[in-house]
Amino acid sequence: MRVVIAEDHALLREGLVLLLSSAGHEVVAVAGSGPEVVPALLEHRPDIAVLDVRMPPGFRDEGLRAALTAREEIPGLPVLVLSQYVEESYAAELLGGGAKGVGYLLKDRVGRVDEFLDALDRVAAGGTALDPEVVAELLTRRRDSPLDSLTPREREVLKLMAEGHDNTTMAAALVVTERAVSKHIGNVFLKLGLPPSDSGHRRVQAVLTYLNNVPRRPD
């Protein structure tokens, strides 16, 4: 897998390069500031971009803006965004810009190598990967949303869906049968108003339903 890394912290950047190279991936370019990101992505057209949210020169949302711009220039470019903290407005904007091949992880997750590499593979394959803490934060902060109609178990299922797990993994995590998981997923789709005609993208749309309703922070 060909990867572009955008991270201003030198130690973390080099750590990511070493980790990905050791896992058999090819790091084709690295960027240390916001303005470097899009040119690197357009030049190398990687299989996935791993980007920090906040980068020089402003340390606000340069990495996120670069990710959104790159996905406009390279439709379908898989992007895995890393952040030091849970910033729900950034997660909502990233996932609201495209339903496939996006992820949002806290940087602490990088230290859990297997989890990080699994998320990288899922996003590169066109799936989604949301940090469990990000999902929990988003679900906790929302009010008066379609999620209010979900049962606690349906919320658990939606949370696991948002993290990118398949039915088998969800069944094991919840200690229920896959048939029960399928039933809960069907109820989630029904309550969120996602009809069968949505042709396979309803899992992602279920996640976007609540992400797109997260209140944005003022600038």
Do the domains at 2-131 and 142-211 have one common CATH topology? no
pLDDT tens-place string over residues 90-107 = 666 666 654 578 888 888
CB 52 within 8 A of CB 63: yes
Residue 119: strand pairing partners? none
Determine contact, residues 49/21, Cβ cutoff 8 Å. Answer: no
Across 63-85, average pLDDT:
85
The residue among 129 and 1 whose pLDDT is bigger is: 1
Chain centroid, CA 171 distance in Å: 22
pLDDT at residue 56 is higher than 80: yes
Residue 134 has pLDDT above 90, yes or no: no
CB within 8 Å of 204: residues ≥ 6 apart:
99, 100, 128
Residue boundaries of the structural domains of the chain? 2-131, 142-211
Measured from the Cβ of residue 134, the count of other Cβ atoms closer than 10 Å reads 25
Enter the tokens of residue 59: 């340390």
Q: Please determine, looking at this structure, whether the domain spanning 2-131 carries the CATH number 3.40.50.2300.
A: yes
Provide the pLDDT for residue 215: 43
130: enclosing H helix or E strand: strand 128-130
Evaluate whether 65 touches 89 at the Cβ level (below 8 Å): no
User: Can you name the CATH fold of 142-211?
Assistant: Arc Repressor Mutant, subunit A (1.10.10)
Give the helix/strand (H/E) hosting 5: strand 2-6
**pLDDT tier at 79 (50, 70, 90 boundaries)?**
very high
User: What pLDDT, on the 0 to 100 scale, is given for residue 88?
Assistant: 61
Percent of the chain scoring above 90 in pLDDT: 37
Distances (CA, A) of 187 to 37, 102, 156, 202: 41, 25, 12, 12
Fill in the amino acid letter for 85.
Answer: Y
